[in-house]
Structure 1
Amino acid sequence: MAARTTREVSFFLLSYLSLCFALRAASQTVSDDDKRILLQIKREWRDQPVLASWNDTTTSSYCAWTGVGCAADGSVVNITLDGQTTPKISQPIPRSLCSLRNLTYLDLSYNNIPGSFPTSLYNCSSLRYLDLSQNRFVGVIPDDVDRLSRLLTHLDLSSNNFSGDVPPAIGRSPAIQELFLNNNLFNGSFPAEIGNLSRLRSLRLAYNPFAPNGIPPKFGNLTQLGFLWMTSANLVGQIPPWFSKLEALVQLDLSENSLTGTIPAGIWALPNLVYLYLYKNDLSGPITIDGTIGALRLEEIDVSMNQINGSIPQDFGKLQNLSVLFMYYNRLSGEIPASIGLLPSLTDLRLFNNSLTGVLPPDLGKHCRLWNIEVDDNKISGELPDGLCDGGAFTSIVVFNNNMSGKIPPSLGSCSTLNNIQVQSNRFSGEVPDGIWSAVNLTTVIMGNNAFSGGLPDKLPWNLTRLNIQNNRFSGQVPSSAGNLVVFLASNNMFSGNLTSVLTGLSRLQSLSLGGNMITGTIPSDLSVLKSLTDLNLSHNQLTGHIPVAIGSLPVLTSLDLSANELSGSIPTAMAILNLYFLNLSSNQLSGEIPAKLQSSAYEQSFLSNPSLCAANSKLNVPACRRGDSGGLSRGLRILFFVLGGLVFLMASAFSVFVYRDCKKRSNGSDPAIADFGLARMLVKPGQPDTVSVIVGSFGYMAPECGYSRRLNEKVDVYSFGVVLLELTTGRQANNEGEQCNLAEWAWKQMQEGTNLRDAVDPAIKDSPQMDDITRVFKLGLLCTESLPSRRPSMKDVLQILNQCNRPDGDDCKPCAERDVAPLLSSKTGSRRKGSPDDGDESGLACNV
């Protein structure tokens, strides 16, 4: 008995050892075969860089090679060479790949593999997982695609360039649980046979240009389906009511199609539904819920961009997991349920572009980590809730184009996470909480078209890039610093002060609008630092001085509005290099000729109400230029020609001659006129010396002889007229109480001291292109104000000189009709007042006859 037992034990031990040796031999054979196959694959893939570790000379096991996974027996069961984690493969799939008999998992996603569908994979009989997504496959999926492994549960062909129809054979793969065909170029149809895949849990057909098609009724058989993604699949018709049977659905996405009709009430009863996306369709009607809402697991609802009407269901306030509610661009009416404000998970609420009324839920933000609310373009009234930032995550409020009123809640001023405020076009009032202007994360503030008041801080938040406060009641100084501000729109407020220190602190501006305020002073020349500026509006303020030449150095400026100010001087020729599609310089006091390159028909309305501008282009609605025009000066001279003509006529009359001792210009500096000093005396007998017993006239315009002699002639009027010419060219008053000498004495002093005439003339015209003519008129004024009457020209001579200067050729224009102007530049005696007033002494300044 003992011997028999021993023999049995020996037999079993021998059998076990034989089996172990056999298995080891078989394993060695498999190992040798799979290693050889891997090296063959490498050769067929032409030594792609990702396969550098696939090397027979290395001591490591092939199971440790990049992308290779082995079973316990050493057979290769997994190849994962996705291009996200390894260098990309750019060669077709080798036919030898399926020689790996135990291969069950193949992931070649995110590569650049070209060619048609790899039918060689039909030979991978053990394959359960196949991912060929994100490659460059083209053409159609073959009609016999069901020849792929019958064990296949996961097939991902997404993000390629497959086209044509999805073949019905795809529905004959009974084990398929996940079918991903999204993001291709399928332009035919998708088969109803997909509904035969009873084990299907996830179906993705999104983003394909399919022929218009409804959702096949067979899809109602997919009772295990948890994920359905058919965005932008050219779906038409209605959402079938049988969706209520797909109780396993977790995500339903039918967005961006042409679906019509109402949302089936059964969808709101799906017990596992978490994500519902039906946006951008043509769905209509109200949202109907049978009984109470059953989809209590809902976290995200997006039914925006449809034609849904009616009100927001009160039952939405029962969705304790709801974080996202998007219903914008619909036709919703009624009030927002107050219960929405009590939802503990709500983070993002977007209801804009509807017809909602009432007030915002007063508890909004108090019970959740709300971060965004957009309810613009509705009819909502009332105030902003004061608890929006209570959750500590609030970043954005967009409520423009409503009927809201009241003040901005002080709590928003302490909301450190806030970065976007858009409350324009409401009826808000009062001052903005100070804390908003110091919020470190604030990037956008749009508050236009309200009734806000108060001032702005001198320094705005560093991160602020867009500030629009147009059409309010803000006052005080314009902020001088905002390091990253790109758009600053503050027109139609009550800002005052000047821009001297403003522009250098806003160097990144692209658009600046300060029109319709009370800003004074000049336009700073350092605006040349605004190299990114495209739009500049400083219209309807009280700006004075010249348009700075620096405007011409703004390389990308396309829109410029400086209208309705008090700007003077000429238009800088440097502006001609700008590519302006909009220009408005109207209603100023600009003078001179418009630069030639700005005399385009595109600017026909750009220069209106500038009486002293001229142009060659008649379409610009300004006078035509005459040679020698220099803006206000030329206009003044034309009036003087008219006045002088009348004087000469009167003096030549045989019956009555008048002595006009006071020829003034109006206080605005541009419209000269004969003042009331005229007609001071009428000669009784023509040709006889005139006498006066009373001195009549304005000091500063009266000739010196009026103070010591009763024997006066027309040279008194010549003197007064000379003073007017000096006023025109210097911009100074005839008799300034703050100075020790009158204008004529001051002008002669400048000549005797050798002052540059450019420094003596009015700063408003010293840069005029007609500077030569201005100089001649100044010198003529000096001749007319000679202290000795005998050395002054006659009125006829003055008129002749001015006529010569005003002719289009103007080449013979001299300060004296037949006189050499050189003596004006030097003095024989060094003193204008030496010599007897009436002795005709020639020792003073001479104008050679």
Structure 2
Amino acid sequence: MAARTTREVSFFLLSFLSLCFALRAASQTLSNDEKRILLQIKREWRDQPVLASWNDTTTSSYCAWTGVGCAADGSVANITLSGQTTPKISQPIPNSLCSLRNLSYLDLSYNNIPGSFPTSLYNCSSLRYLDLSQNRFVGVIPDDVDRLSPLLTHLDLSSNNFSGDVPPAISRFPAIQKLVLNSNLFNGSFPAEIGNLSRLQTLVLAYNPFAPNIIPPEFGNLTQLVFLWMTSANLVGEIPPSFSKLEALVQLDLSENSLTGTIPAGIWALQNLVYLYLHRNNLSGPITIDGTIGALGLERIDVSMNQINGSIPKDFGKLLNLSVLFMYYNRLSGEIPASIGLLPLLYDLRLFNNGLTGVLPPELGKHCPLWNIEVDDNKIFGELPDGLCDGGALTSIVVFNNNMSGKIPPSLGSCSTLDNIQVQSNSFSGEVPDGIWSAVNLTTMIMRDNAFSGGLPDELPWNLTRLDIKNNRFSGQVPSSAGNLVVFLASNNMFSGNLPSTLTGLSRLQSLSLGGNMITGTIPSDLSVLKSLVDLNLSHNQLTGHIPVAIGSLPVLNSLDLSANELSGSIPTAMANLKLNFLNLSSNQLSGEIPAGLQSPAYEQSFLSNPSLCAANSQLNVPACRRGSSGGLSRGLRILFFVLGGLVFLMALAFSVFVYRDRKKRSNGSDPAVWNVTSFQSVDFTESNIMRGIKEENLIGSGGSGNVYKVDLGNRAGETVAVKKIWSSRKLDSKLEKQFQSEVKFLGSIRHKNIIKLRCCISSPDAKLLVYEYMGNGSLDRWLHGKRAAPLHWSTRLEIAVGSARGLCYLHHDCSPPIIHRDVKSSNILLDMEFNAKIADFGLARMLVKPGQLDTVSVIAGSFGYMAPECGYSRRLNEKVDVYSFGVVLLELTTGRRANNEGEQCNLAEWAWKQIQEGANLRDAVDPAIKDSPQMDDITTVFKLGLRCTESLPSRRPSMKDVLQVLMRCNRPRGDDCKPCAERDVAPLLSSKTGSRRKGSPNDGDEKSLACNV
């Protein structure tokens, strides 16, 4: 018996060992097969750099290779080679990929994979997750796409170049839960059969140029749908009533389409709905909601920019979780329900541009943390509620263009969070509460066209950048201290006394308007420090004395009005240096001859009612200057003129000798033959002054289009210029020469404070010299990345960003024809001694034939790290290539990294997108030099703006006008106590959803847009 038991145990052990050996052999065979397939994939992918670790000579398991994930049995189950973290793959998908029989997860997003839809993936029978987004696929999605694995739960084909229809086969994946097709070029239709995907939780069809399509009623069958995004999908017709069945829906976004009709009442019964975006459609009809609305968990309502009419239902007051209510740009009428003032969580209320009447809810702000109220452009009357700031969060009041009256509530004087007040064009009266004038966070105050009275404090809030109080009844003296004012508009009030001498301390001031007051005394003499001043209006006062000579040295002054005063003396000759679009010196007591540079027909109405003025130009409406005869000159004067004439003759003779020697030297072969000088402004130098400075020791920079030299002219003014020498090795034919001369003349005519001034062009058949103003602080690249550069404070970086954006905005939107720079980078943003930014290097710029028409470019231009993706595959580019490059500059400013990301595997834009997509803490991405800045909200907002500018699709990028608007809203005066810019201010650009209309542009005029040409 014992022997039998022993034999049985022995047999069992032998069987077990045999099985183990068999399993081990099978496992070894599987391992060998999987490794062989991976190495085959690497060969078919032509040894892409990302696959460097896929190497048979390494001792590590293939399961540890880059992007490879294995199941418990050692089979490859996961391939993740997203280009966000690695060098991008630029070859088609290998056929051998599906030889990995257990492959269930494939992520090849953010690469440059070309070609048509990869039908080779039909053989991946175990595939559950497929992400091919952000690549370069083209053509149609095949009609048999359902041959992909029936196990598929996730399919993402977004941000490619697929076109045609979305085929009905896309709806034949029984297990699909997430279908993402946004940001392609689909120009056909999408199938109603998608409504049959009973397990679908996410459906994204946004940003496609579909042919006009209705929303299929069948979509109402997607009862497990949580997220529906169909922005800008060319939708027409009405929202189907069947949407009331989407009970799991949390976000519904149908914005930016052409939908019509009413909002189905059933939508308000969706108890899980948190985000509702229906703006920019043609919806009409009143909003109707049923009695169940009080039970909903709705937190945000955005039905703005439609054509909704009727009144706001009183039952909105039952939405106890409502924090955001956007219903702007509609046709609403009637009163704002008083019950809205009782909502406990209301944070942001925007009802502007409707036809609302009545008063604001009296309890508004008393029961909630109200942050922003915008009800402008309605017919609201009555006073501002007294408790708007009781919640301690109010930053912005925008109520202009209504019929409101009464005084500003005294309680607002103790509202420490207040940042933005816009109450213009109403009937407000009385004095402004003292506390408002001392509000530490106040930056924008627009109160024009009311009946306010009283005086201004001697010292305005330090953070205040825009104060517009035109057309009121303010009196007393002009404030002597205005901190960081950029715009001060106070015309048509009752101010008196002298202009304070401290006015010259407003170094950031761009616009000063004090016309139509009772100001006396003289104009302060030292105005030369106001280097940012663009617009100066002191007309219709009682000013006396002379016009200060310093006015002629204001570098960007564009408009000057000193009319209707009692100014006397001559007009300073230096004023002829100004590039004025508007000048009015009429109705004064000025005398003498008008400077020759101002004797232009453009100023024919500028000198009226000055009896003692005269001019040689008969086109001006002033008397001609009388010239005395030669016999009338005294003997002493004649002797003086004779001596001076002799000196001039001797100087001319000496100059002739110098020129002769210089030409002789050049004839010996040391210089190009004959130089032709084309000046674009008055210059006090010759080509000889320039040529002497073109030598190696003066080289300060070089690039793809030439070298740059710093040249000290040695003239009377002691000027220094920057000279760019281009095309030194080839001659141009006559056609190209004419094109070059035409483009240079156009660029030389540009006048903008944020664009480098091209003073002249010196050319010969062999070389071109572009003479620019010299910028003492060099390039932004030097300050961000130079080894010896001191770190820039955030406030300085932000002002550099604003200045650069202004320059590009001017080129794109205010030049005719528009100009594409095509090589925007930090080394082409130059800084003067006060760190004012100017855009430089137009050697690569090309002009559009017509405004808005695409530019056909014959060569690829740009710099690595800054070039938009379309530069690599398209020859038809528009101004969005500059927007992309500027976005990289914004990322440089916020992260301190180089555009090539310090030689890492991905460039800066790719690295930044990775931080967002991986949910990284943005504080960790910020440049350590500014990480402790109190304006961290500003920094992260500008970082996200940089991301928006570097979207892969040009259509997704904002315009430079939009970029400038965001930067201006974030811009704050320098100092550690600056108030951060909340991201909500710029949400329209950062999220494509919605955002505050907090205005406050430093430009006078319509607050709804920012001009580029300041």
Q: What TM-score does the superposition give when structure 1 sets the normalisation length? A: 0.71
Q: CA deviation at 1:808?
A: 57
Q: Is the contact between residue 705 and residue 837 of structure 1 (CA under 8 Å) also seen in structure 2? A: no
Single out whichever of 579-588 and 66-75 deviates more from structure 2.
Answer: 66-75
Q: CA deviation at 1:199?
A: 1.9
Separation in 2 of the partners of 1:583 and 1:92?
Answer: 64
Q: Is the contact between residue 614 and residue 631 of structure 1 (CA under 8 Å) also seen in structure 2? A: no
Q: CA deviation at 1:197?
A: 1.9
Separation in 2 of the partners of 1:160 and 1:776?
Answer: 27
Which structure 2 residues correspond to residues 337-736 of structure 1 after superposition, within 5 A?
337-627=337-627
Single out whichever of 248-257 and 758-767 deviates more from structure 2.
Answer: 758-767
Q: Is the contact between residue 533 and residue 556 of structure 2 (CA under 8 Å) also seen in structure 1? A: yes
Q: Is the contact between residue 213 and residue 234 of structure 1 (CA under 8 Å) also seen in structure 2? A: yes
Q: Which residue of 1 aligns with 2:296?
A: 296
Residues 1:24 and 1:481: Cα distance change in structure 2 (over 3 Å): farther
Per-residue displacement from partner, 1:185-217 (whole Å, max 9, x unpaired)? Answer: 111211222223222221111111111111123
Single out whichever of 76-85 and 365-374 deviates more from structure 2.
Answer: 76-85
Q: CA deviation at 1:715?
A: 83
Residues 1:627 and 1:242: Cα distance change in structure 2 (over 3 Å): same
Q: CA deviation at 1:766?
A: 58
Separation in 1 of the partners of 2:984 and 2:221?
Answer: 113
Separation in 2 of the partners of 1:396 and 1:427?
Answer: 19
Q: CA deviation at 1:457?
A: 3.1
SS of residue paired to 1:364? coil
Q: Which has the larger radius of gyration?
A: 1
Q: Is the contact between residue 235 and residue 259 of structure 2 (CA under 8 Å) also seen in structure 1? A: yes
SS of residue paired to 2:79? strand
Q: Is the contact between residue 511 and residue 534 of structure 2 (CA under 8 Å) also seen in structure 1? A: yes
Separation in 2 of the partners of 1:612 and 1:319?
Answer: 73
Separation in 1 of the partners of 2:262 and 2:1005?
Answer: 110
Per-residue displacement from partner, 1:630-685 (whole Å, max 9, x unpaired)? Answer: 999999999999999999999999999999999999999999xx999999999999
Residues 1:200 and 1:327: Cα distance change in structure 2 (over 3 Å): same
Q: CA deviation at 1:503?
A: 2.9
SS of residue paired to 1:203? strand
Residues 1:549 and 1:152: Cα distance change in structure 2 (over 3 Å): same
Q: CA deviation at 1:114?
A: 2.9
Q: Is the contact between residue 294 and residue 318 of structure 2 (CA under 8 Å) also seen in structure 1? A: no
Q: CA deviation at 1:287?
A: 0.8
Q: CA deviation at 1:133?
A: 1.6
Q: Is the contact between residue 250 and residue 272 of structure 1 (CA under 8 Å) also seen in structure 2? A: yes
Single out whichever of 764-773 and 211-220 deviates more from structure 2.
Answer: 764-773
Q: CA deviation at 1:233?
A: 0.7
SS of residue paired to 1:807? coil
Per-residue displacement from partner, 1:706-765 (whole Å, max 9, x unpaired)? Answer: 999999999999999999999999999999999999999999999999999999999999
Residues 1:382 and 1:24: Cα distance change in structure 2 (over 3 Å): farther
Q: Is the contact between residue 128 and residue 151 of structure 1 (CA under 8 Å) also seen in structure 2? A: yes
Separation in 1 of the partners of 2:364 and 2:639?
Answer: 72
Q: Is the contact between residue 751 and residue 825 of structure 1 (CA under 8 Å) also seen in structure 2? A: no
Per-residue displacement from partner, 1:778-813 (whole Å, max 9, x unpaired)? Answer: 999999999999999999999999999999999999
Q: CA deviation at 1:697?
A: 85
Q: What TM-score does the superposition give when structure 2 sets the normalisation length? A: 0.60
Single out whichever of 344-353 and 831-840 deviates more from structure 2.
Answer: 831-840
Separation in 2 of the partners of 1:685 and 1:12?
Answer: 89
Q: Is the contact between residue 823 and residue 848 of structure 1 (CA under 8 Å) also seen in structure 2? A: no
Single out whichever of 327-336 and 415-424 deviates more from structure 2.
Answer: 415-424
Per-residue displacement from partner, 1:236-261 (whole Å, max 9, x unpaired)? Answer: 11112121122222221111111111
Separation in 1 of the partners of 2:78 and 2:219?
Answer: 33
Single out whichever of 266-275 and 767-776 deviates more from structure 2.
Answer: 767-776
Q: Would you say how many aligned residue pairs link Structure 1 and Structure 2?
A: 847
Separation in 2 of the partners of 1:703 and 1:150?
Answer: 38
Separation in 1 of the partners of 2:94 and 2:875?
Answer: 124
Single out whichever of 827-836 and 445-454 deviates more from structure 2.
Answer: 827-836
Separation in 2 of the partners of 1:73 and 1:744?
Answer: 39
Q: CA deviation at 1:183?
A: 1.2
Separation in 2 of the partners of 1:830 and 1:150?
Answer: 42
Residues 1:845 and 1:75: Cα distance change in structure 2 (over 3 Å): closer
Residues 1:667 and 1:332: Cα distance change in structure 2 (over 3 Å): farther
Q: Is the contact between residue 84 and residue 914 of structure 2 (CA under 8 Å) also seen in structure 1? A: no
Single out whichever of 794-803 and 348-357 deviates more from structure 2.
Answer: 794-803
Residues 1:587 and 1:198: Cα distance change in structure 2 (over 3 Å): same
Q: CA deviation at 1:574?
A: 2.1
Q: CA deviation at 1:302?
A: 1.0
SS of residue paired to 2:169? helix
Question: Which structure's relative contact order is higher, taking Cα pairs within 8 Å and 6+ residues apart?
Answer: 2
SS of residue paired to 1:529? coil
Q: Which residue of 1 aligns with 2:212?
A: 212
SS of residue paired to 2:526? helix
Separation in 2 of the partners of 1:85 and 1:817?
Answer: 30
Separation in 1 of the partners of 2:177 and 2:952?
Answer: 114
Single out whichever of 236-245 and 737-746 deviates more from structure 2.
Answer: 737-746
Q: CA deviation at 1:352?
A: 0.5
Separation in 1 of the partners of 2:280 and 2:439?
Answer: 36
Q: Is the contact between residue 559 and residue 583 of structure 1 (CA under 8 Å) also seen in structure 2? A: yes
SS of residue paired to 2:453? strand
Residues 1:294 and 1:576: Cα distance change in structure 2 (over 3 Å): same
SS of residue paired to 1:259? strand
Q: Is the contact between residue 478 and residue 500 of structure 2 (CA under 8 Å) also seen in structure 1? A: no
Residues 1:682 and 1:555: Cα distance change in structure 2 (over 3 Å): closer
Separation in 2 of the partners of 1:78 and 1:749?
Answer: 20
Q: CA deviation at 1:391?
A: 2.5
Separation in 2 of the partners of 1:615 and 1:736?
Answer: 61
Q: CA deviation at 1:617?
A: 4.0
Residues 1:218 and 1:569: Cα distance change in structure 2 (over 3 Å): same
Q: Is the contact between residue 376 and residue 402 of structure 1 (CA under 8 Å) also seen in structure 2? A: yes
Q: Is the contact between residue 459 and residue 479 of structure 2 (CA under 8 Å) also seen in structure 1? A: yes
Q: Is the contact between residue 235 and residue 258 of structure 1 (CA under 8 Å) also seen in structure 2? A: yes
Residues 1:698 and 1:415: Cα distance change in structure 2 (over 3 Å): closer
Single out whichever of 354-363 and 610-619 deviates more from structure 2.
Answer: 610-619
Separation in 2 of the partners of 1:541 and 1:467?
Answer: 20
SS of residue paired to 1:218? helix
Q: Is the contact between residue 231 and residue 253 of structure 1 (CA under 8 Å) also seen in structure 2? A: yes
Q: CA deviation at 1:598?
A: 2.5
Residues 1:17 and 1:500: Cα distance change in structure 2 (over 3 Å): same
Separation in 2 of the partners of 1:822 and 1:554?
Answer: 37
Q: Is the contact between residue 689 and residue 711 of structure 1 (CA under 8 Å) also seen in structure 2? A: yes
Q: CA deviation at 1:22?
A: 3.0
Single out whichever of 208-217 and 784-793 deviates more from structure 2.
Answer: 784-793
Separation in 1 of the partners of 2:152 and 2:276?
Answer: 29
Q: Is the contact between residue 462 and residue 484 of structure 2 (CA under 8 Å) also seen in structure 1? A: yes
Residues 1:170 and 1:780: Cα distance change in structure 2 (over 3 Å): closer
Residues 1:178 and 1:548: Cα distance change in structure 2 (over 3 Å): same
Q: Is the contact between residue 360 and residue 382 of structure 2 (CA under 8 Å) also seen in structure 1? A: yes
Separation in 1 of the partners of 2:617 and 2:985?
Answer: 38
Separation in 2 of the partners of 1:106 and 1:786?
Answer: 23
Q: Structure 2, unaligned stretches of length 5 or more?
A: 672-838
Per-residue displacement from partner, 1:243-289 (whole Å, max 9, x unpaired)? Answer: 11222222211111111111111111222222111111111111122
Q: Which residue of 2 aligns with 1:314?
A: 314
Residues 1:235 and 1:592: Cα distance change in structure 2 (over 3 Å): same
Residues 1:309 and 1:539: Cα distance change in structure 2 (over 3 Å): same
Single out whichever of 78-87 and 560-569 deviates more from structure 2.
Answer: 78-87
Q: CA deviation at 1:508?
A: 0.8
Q: 1:742 aligns with which of 897, 907, 926?
A: 907
Q: Is the contact between residue 558 and residue 581 of structure 1 (CA under 8 Å) also seen in structure 2? A: yes
Q: CA deviation at 1:101?
A: 2.0
Q: CA deviation at 1:122?
A: 2.1
Separation in 2 of the partners of 1:602 and 1:97?
Answer: 73
Q: Which residue of 2 aligns with 1:818?
A: 983
Q: Which residue of 2 aligns with 1:224?
A: 224
Q: CA deviation at 1:446?
A: 1.0
Q: Which residue of 2 aligns with 1:109?
A: 109
Residues 1:602 and 1:99: Cα distance change in structure 2 (over 3 Å): same
Residues 1:344 and 1:847: Cα distance change in structure 2 (over 3 Å): closer
Residues 1:502 and 1:152: Cα distance change in structure 2 (over 3 Å): same
Q: CA deviation at 1:375?
A: 0.4
Q: Structure 1, unaligned stretches of length 5 or more?
A: none
Single out whichever of 573-582 and 685-694 deviates more from structure 2.
Answer: 685-694
Q: CA deviation at 1:531?
A: 1.6
SS of residue paired to 1:544? coil
